[in-house]
Amino acid sequence: MSNTYAKTATIANGSPNSDVIDTKGMALAGIRFPAAFTGATVSIQYSLDGTANMNTVNNAAGSPITFTKALNGWCSVDPYTFAITKGGYIKVVSASNEAAERQIDLIFVSV
């Protein structure tokens, strides 16, 4: 049985980037967008220490992995794709600056 961890990421009004989220050694498994969300997609940035060198998580072809908003619904994330983020920190990045503060729920699982 895997352990789970829930955390809310906050994107400030006028910004595309959330606050830094500690993964607590787990992999991202789900994203829930708020009812109102300005950007059409989000990507994930990762850093080992959470303070510097936040880099976009890309697929094997070098393209950013993005998630399309599902209003008031969960977007499933393959945790094995995000196993790279274990033991580090992430930010959720909207495709555009948000028109108001947004709360994005995240679920992490052990893999």
The 10s digit of each residue's pLDDT in 37-53 is 888 899 999 999 888 78
- The CB-side HSE value for 80 (13 A sphere, CA atoms) comes to 0
CA 21 to chain CA centroid, Å, is 8
DSSP state letter for 72:
T
Residues 90, 50: Cα–Cα separation, whole Å:
7
Threshold 0.85, pTM exceeds: yes
- pLDDT number for residue 12: 97
By CB neighbour count within 10 A (0-12 exposed, 13-18 middle, 19+ buried), where does 50 fall? middle
- pLDDT number for residue 46: 93
Instruction: Summarize the confidence of residues 29-44 as an average pLDDT.
Output: 90
State the pLDDT confidence band at 60, using cuts at 50, 70 and 90. Answer: confident
Token code pair at residue 42:
């989000």
